Amino acid sequence: MTTIALPSYEDATSRYETVIGLETHVELGTQTKMFCGCKTDFGAEPNTQVCPVCLALPGALPAMNGAAIEATIRIGLALNCDIAEWCRMARKNYFYPDMPKNFQTSQYDEPLCVDGHVDVVVDGKEYRIGIERVHIEEDTGKTLHVGGATGRIHGATESLVDYNRAGIPLVEIVTKPVPGLGELAPEVAKAYVAELRDIIRSLGVSDVRMEQGSLRCDVNTSLNKPGEEWGTRTETKNVNSLRSVERAVRSEVIRQAGVLDGGGKITQETRHFHEDRGDTSPGRSKETATDYRYFPEPDLVPIAPDPAWVAQLKSELPEKPSTKRARLREEWGISELDMQSVANAGAVELIEETIAAGASPAGARKWWMGELARRANELGIELSAAGATPAQVAALQKLVDEGKLNDKLARTVLEGVVAGEGDPAEVMAARGLEVVNDTGALTAAVDEAIAANPDIADKIRDGKVAAAGALVGAVMKTTRGQADAKTVRELILARLGVS
Amino acid sequence: MAAISREEVAHLARLSRLAVTEEELDRFAGQLDVILQSVARVGEVAAEDIPPTSHSVPLTNVYREDVPAPSLAQDAALSGAPDAYEGRFRVPRILDEED
Amino acid sequence: MSDLTRLSAADLASRIASREVSAVEVATAHLDRIDAVDERVHAFLHVDREGALAAAAAVDRGEITGPLAGVPIAVKDVVTTKGLPTTAASKILEGWTPPYDATIVERLKAAGMPILGKTNMDEFAMGSSTEYSAYGPTNNPWDLGRIPGGSGGGSAAALAAYEAPLAIGTDTGGSIRQPGAVTGTVGAKPTYGGTSRYGLIAFSSSLDTPGPCGRTVEDTALLHAVIAGHDPRDSTSIPQPVPDVVAAARRGATGDLTGVKLGLVKEFAGDGSEPGVLAAFRESLEALVKLGAEVVEVSCPHFQYALPAYYLIAPSECSSNLARFDGVRYGLRSGDDGSRSLEEVMSLTRDEGFGPEVKRRIILGTYALSSGYYDAYYGQAQKVRTLITRDFQAAFEQVDVLVSPTTPFVAFPFGSRTSDPYQMYLADLFTIPTNLYGGPAISVPCGLSEGLPVGFQIMAPTLADDRMYRVAAALESAVGTFTPPAL
């Protein structure tokens, strides 16, 4: 097998045009499953949240969850879709052990919502992603593959199936193909998924956490030479984070360019994204595309949403995340670019909540965009999982504002909070980090520093006020940083008679 | 209408997970051929503008409240299982990857 | 003791209620009768002596009262019964015991009706003779060398053999009515959606209808009233209240059909019916006219496509409904010796577990739904279904009910129609149209042809189940009931 020399990403995108598409599955946060009253709690013992319906016992029948239909319609409306006046569920027939009926109850040619769009901003430019359709279906059970090396299917000797997840409502959102993004395709794809996630989260219908599987993304990519028809596309699965969305598109563009450059053809296939390597590998190839033999689900009657109800749902939609960001940007008095950074870091709600807990906009932003963002990036985790809550951050800033902590001490306290030692006040007390404000102790330390550095003291007396910095440093050292630098400086100058 | 070939029957059997024997294939192919020719008569009806009937009951919008109902206990859920292990259904190695 | 098994359900109910006889005595009489004759009839796949007697005892203790309290019943083995084996007469479910009761079984229990056992049927309800049962056929009490009809042959035979006064059947293309016709018993298919399918092992979801079977029209109506009604667990269950079928049956029994218009379907006239069947049918028509009814010829031009449409729709739905039988969660698992993949084990399991008729229909259904064939087959059949529905609606604007022989032939000898599947399908010629429409229909014994029972079919508009009971009871009052030779 010859290895293909891969072009650089810049080279690839200079010679080929990209077309991308995204298919996203959202696990709804309803109390019960789509077709039965089993609970949907995460982490239950295997096969304890199952019943004849979701186990597909002989004789069982589905009964549709009304809340799931409402949630799907609201998602469609938030994505600017038209809502079907009449549509049906359909059976998608294929055999797989995690799918107890060996068909999935889904929607085929009559999706509940069609023809919408999502607007995203990347590098100051706006892009519109068309939404082809939004429909409702059911999730599968979970299979553990045993005996193989990686825990994946390849090489496994047997599998163990848990149907707790089978039947949980799943909303599928499919974009229209998006051409013309050029080299920004990966960023736009990522921005789309982030925006989609924010929109759905604002509706309160799902916690849309990629790392927990309640938001799953498949990315389609194809390349074509300028002026030619769109190329064969590949589908990439196992894209489990925003970062992976970007990397998956990027790696597929490079790989496909390499194949095409070498005169090869792109195989229409499903590929698996590897988090650790940042590239994709082919799944098991199939000779022909699967024929799912779709037909209307006879056990469920058609869905015909009342137009008046749909209009009411539309009027009750919450503020769009982009509108909210614009409003907050003004309130916080920051630039669009800065706001974009805040959004990219996933910090909008966190900062909002921190302000609600009493911090100033600047104070809230400083911690979330500073220390906490740094930590999140290092560990490759979501900002919200960085170890501090908005309430804690607000409390921390309050301690600084009250003069009980200076900036350096506050960072140390934050470390303690993140390490799970408790709330800021608790950490501060436990570690003895409070700013020393006792003027007597400070004056003693100042006198000590002056006595230890007579030359510097003289310079200051002579008017070189800037030299005070060195003395401040000495005092800070003596007090282990637990003094307010400004206060110390004033004390020094006062002591030396030059304030 | 076209007859159904032995190969097509074999293909359909694979699709529907039926490990039919050679003898069954022979028998079924002949029988299905006859049946198909009979049922193909539906094609004689001019029905371009006729809407299909998927449900004979004129119902729409039948929903259930999003309120939990009792589930089966784990042992009841597994009671019919040909093979189970620590609360899960055990199956031999799977060839096809998840869709 | 044995004459308790000759009484009607209505009679038994009133004697139990008046404490003239105990429910335990009644149940015991029927269980003993089963012991005495079922080796020859083979109507039952499973008998639950203990459970039936316990339920009867509860009625005797006064714990449950109601119109049929204490009246025992047989249940077709396609309906789930908690703790009782349920096989759908298939090897693939051999030994399976459901962890839940079907809704209609819950209603039987709530009505205080002891369940005697589960009756034989064609595998997964696919057939017209019960010859496709994986556990051996049922023998028609009228002639043990002949079929009892299908798919519900066991329930009908149990009635004809006096093993049970009432039985539950299911009707997808005639599986209640045709066995009723060839065993001289009454079998009713309610309006689709009138009885809950929750717990009914699915064959063809848009057609399957559980229904009541008895030896008299009134008995059948009494059972209908117990099991019918809306069920939130079945989304296709109709919300309308159950029509008063018992009152309609009693009204019909007075023998007055003045002003009732009976529609004779022109297209059914020449369709290969045996002369004896036609003769009995015509005599019955005359009897109804004598009661004041008027016969009107109607044309239903698309009825000739009902059989082909049915044999596209039903197999298609069944190919999907039977996919769940894969050896993973319940039932048979075959070939799992550690060397094979799941796909292989599934295929071996299904080939071993399903009989030939089931396999034929799964393959046919898979074909009819395949991309490239869907429009011509399944899609087209659904359109024909619309046209058949319109034929019914147009006919019912002219007449109150439609009438026909239930089935073109009397009980045929074993093996006479199994070599050519399509010959078997013809048994459903007259019963299928109403399944596609979704309307109610009933078969009432109307005469004999060479010593074998003939059934008279009455079809009514959807939701008008009471109308067919009225006409059925009137016919019964004119022709009487028919008793098979002693076993």
**DSSP track, A329-365:** HHHHT--HHHHHHHHHTT-HHHHHHHHHTT--HHHHH
Average pLDDT over residues B56-67: 96
Cβ C387 vs Cβ B50: under 8 Å: yes
The answer, yes or no, to whether residue A32 has pLDDT greater than 70, is yes
Q: Which of A31-40, A425-434, A490-499, B74-83 has the lowest mean pLDDT?
A: A490-499
Residues of chain C predicted below pLDDT 70: 1-2, 270-271
Residues within 8 A of B (CB atoms), C 402-461 only? 420-422, 436-438
Confidence of residue A2 (pLDDT cuts 50, 70, 90): low
Which of C97, C324, C337 best probes binding to A when mutated, by most A CB atoms within 10 angstroms?
C324
Domain assignment of residue A214, yes or no: yes
Nearest to C410 by CA among C443, C377, C374, C454: C454
- Residue A96: which residues within 8 A CB-CB, separation 6 or more? A102, A140, B94, B96, B98, B99
Buried-state track C302-321, b at ≥16 Cβ within 10 A, e below 16: bbbbbbbbbbbbbbbbbbbb
Q: Please indicate whether, in this complex, the C-beta atoms of A284 and B97 are within 8 angstroms of each other.
A: yes
DSSP E strand stretches across A98-214? 103-106, 113-122, 125-138, 142-146, 158-162, 169-175, 178-179
pLDDT of residue C1: 43
Parallel, antiparallel or unpaired: strands A90-93 and A82-83: unpaired
Sequence-ordered alpha helix ranges (H) in C130-271? 153-160, 177-183, 217-227, 245-253
A443 in the same domain as A424: no
Map tokens 């879709």 to a residue. A81
Q: Using CA of residue A55, residue A61, residue A66, residue A68, what is the dihedral sign? A: positive
Shared domain for A110 and A212, answered yes or no, is yes
A86 interaction partners in chain B (CB closer than 8 Å): 60
Residue B1 pLDDT class (50, 70, 90 cuts): very low
What are C435's two structure tokens?
């399944």
Q: Do B82 and C332 lie within an 8 Å CB cutoff?
A: yes
**Where do the structural domains in chain B lie, given as residue ranges?**
1-46
In Å, how far is A3's CA from the nearest CA of chain C? 33
* A64 to B64: CB separation less than 8 angstroms, yes or no: yes
Per DSSP bridges, beta strands A215-224 and C209-214 are unpaired
Q: What is the largest CA-CA distance in chain C?
A: 73
Q: Please say whether the beta carbons of A359 and A325 come within 8 A.
A: no
CATH code at B1-46: 1.10.20.60
Q: Looking at the 3D structure of chain A, how many domains does it have? A: 3
Give chain C positions within 8 Å (CB) of B38: 307-308, 311, 422
pLDDT digits (tens, 9 = 90+) for A441-489: 788 888 888 888 888 888 888 888 888 888 888 888 888 878 878 888 8
Return the pLDDT at A238: 86
> Cα(A291)–Cα(C132) distance, rounded to whole angstroms?
30
Is the minimum CB–CB distance between C272 and chain B shorter than 8 Å?
no
Q: What is the per-residue DSSP string for C21-43?
A: S-HHHHHHHHHHHHHHHHHHH--
pTM of the model: 0.90
- CATH number at C44 reads 3.90.1300.10
In a domain, C374, yes or no: no
Mutate to test the interface with A, among C369, C373, C436 (most CBs of A within 10 A): C369
C residues 300-359 closer than 8 Å to B (CB): 302, 305, 307-309, 311-312, 319, 323, 326-333, 336, 338, 340-348, 350-351, 354, 356, 359
The Cβ of residue B24 has, within 10 Å, a number of other Cβ atoms equal to: 18
**How far off is chain B from A296, nearest CA to CA, in Å?**
7
* C105–chain A nearest CA distance, Å: 12
Instruction: Tell me which residues of C are annotated as active site.
Output: 76, 151, 175
Structure tokens at C290: 């004598």
Nearest CA to A98 out of C331, C328, C321 is that of C328
Rg of chain A in Å (alpha carbons): 29
Instruction: Decide if C342 and A97 are in contact by the 8 Å CB cutoff.
Output: yes
CA closest to C98 among chain B residues: B80
Q: Which two tokens stand for residue C219?
A: 């008995």
Substitution target from A48, A102, A161, A297 for chain C, most C beta carbons within 10 A: A102
Distance from CA of A111 to the nearest CA of C (A): 19
As a whole number of angstroms, the distance between CA A300 and CA C188 comes to: 25
Question: What is the amino acid identity at position C212?
Answer: P
Smallest Cα distance from A249 to chain B, Å:
20
Q: Do C350 and B55 touch (CB under 8 A)?
A: no
Min Cα–Cα distance to chain A from B7, Å: 16
* Chain position carrying tokens 């059947």: C169
Q: Is the peptide bond before C151 cis (omega within 30 degrees of 0)?
A: yes
Task: Tell which of B57, B67, B72 to mutate to test the A interface (max A CBs under 10 Å).
Answer: B72
A97/C366 CB distance under 8 A: no
| A59 and C CB contact within 8 Å | yes
DSSP E strands, C349-484: 401-405, 441-449, 452-459
Range of the domain at C174: 4-260
d(CA A106, CA A112): 11
Query: Taking 80 as the threshold, does the pLDDT of residue A153 lie above it?
Result: no
Q: Which residues of C touch B6 (CB under 8 A)?
A: none
Residues near A117 by beta carbon (within 8 Å), at least 6 away in sequence? A79, A80, A128, A129, A130, A131
Q: At what angle do helices A407-418 and A390-401 cross, to 10 degrees?
A: 160
Is B97 within 8 Å of A98 when comparing Cβ atoms? no
* β pairing state of C44-47 and A125-138: unpaired
A359-363, A431-435, C145-149, C341-345: the lowest-pLDDT one:
A431-435
Q: Which of A156, A120, A54, A94 is nearest to A322 (CA)?
A: A120
What dihedral angle (degrees, nearest 10) is formed by the CA atoms of C212, C214, C220, C224?
Answer: -20
* B64 and A66 Cβ atoms separated by less than 8 Å: yes
- Average pLDDT over chain A, rounded to whole? 91
Residue A204, judged by CB atoms within 10 A of its CB (0-12, 13-18, 19+), counts as: exposed
CB–CB of A299 and C235 under 8 A?
A: yes
CB contact under 8 A, A301 and C236: yes
Residues of the domain holding A411: 320-431
Q: What is the predicted pLDDT for the residue at A343?
A: 83
Dihedral in degrees, nearest 10, Cα atoms A53, A58, A61, A62: 40
Widest Cα–Cα separation across chain B:
58
Distance (Å) from the alpha carbon of A338 to chain B's nearest alpha carbon:
41
Distance in angstroms (rounded) separating the CA atoms of residues A212 and A234: 25
Q: How many CB atoms lie under 10 A from the CB of residue C328?
A: 25
A285-324 residues touching C, CB cutoff 8 A: 291, 293-295, 298-301
Q: Which pLDDT band, with edges at 50, 70 and 90, does B29 fall under?
A: very high
Return the half-sphere exposure (C-beta side, CA atoms, 13 A cut-off) of residue A82: 8
- Distance CA(B27)–CA(C221), nearest Å, equals 44
Distance of alpha carbon A66 from alpha carbon A73, whole angstroms: 11
d(C-alpha A449, C-alpha A231), whole Å: 74
Residue C372 in contact with partner chain B when CB distance is under 8 A: no
Q: Residue C64: its pLDDT value, please? A: 95
Contact call for A300 and C235, based on CB within 8 A:
yes
Phi-psi domain of A211 (left: phi exceeds 0; alpha: psi -120 through 50; beta: other): alpha
The answer to whether the CB atoms of A93 and C323 lie below 8 A apart is: yes
Q: State how beta strands B84-85 and B88-92 pair.
A: antiparallel
Instruction: Please state, in angstroms and rounded to a whole number, the distance separating the CA atoms of residues C162 and C333.
Output: 38
CB pairs under 8 A between A and C: 97
Specify if A24 maps to a domain: yes
Is the same domain home to A246 and A332? no
Average pLDDT, chain B: 92
Rg (CA), chain C: 21
- Please report how many Cα atoms fall inside a 13 Å half-sphere around the Cα of residue C281, on the Cβ side: 27
Q: Which tokens sit at C79?
A: 């309906």
Contact A293 C86 (CB under 8 A): no
- Which tens digits make up the pLDDT trace of A221-261? 999 999 999 999 999 998 989 999 999 999 999 999 999 99
Confidence of residue B10 (pLDDT cuts 50, 70, 90): very high
Burial class of residue B79 in the structure, from the number of CB atoms within 10 Å of its CB (0-12 exposed, 13-18 middle, 19+ buried): middle
> Per the domain annotation, does C284 fall within a domain?
no
Are residue A268 and residue A212 in the same domain, yes or no? yes
Q: Give how far Cα C67 sits from Cα of A135, C74, C182, C248, Å.
A: 48, 17, 29, 16
Give the tokens for residue B60.
Answer: 């729409």
Chains that touch B (3 or more CB pairs under 8 A): A, C
User: CA C280, CA A136: separation in Å to the nearest integer?
Assistant: 55
Residue B7: burial class (beta carbons within 10 Å; 0-12, 13-18, 19+): exposed
Is the minimum CB–CB distance between B50 and chain C shorter than 8 Å?
A: yes
Q: How many domains does chain C have?
A: 1
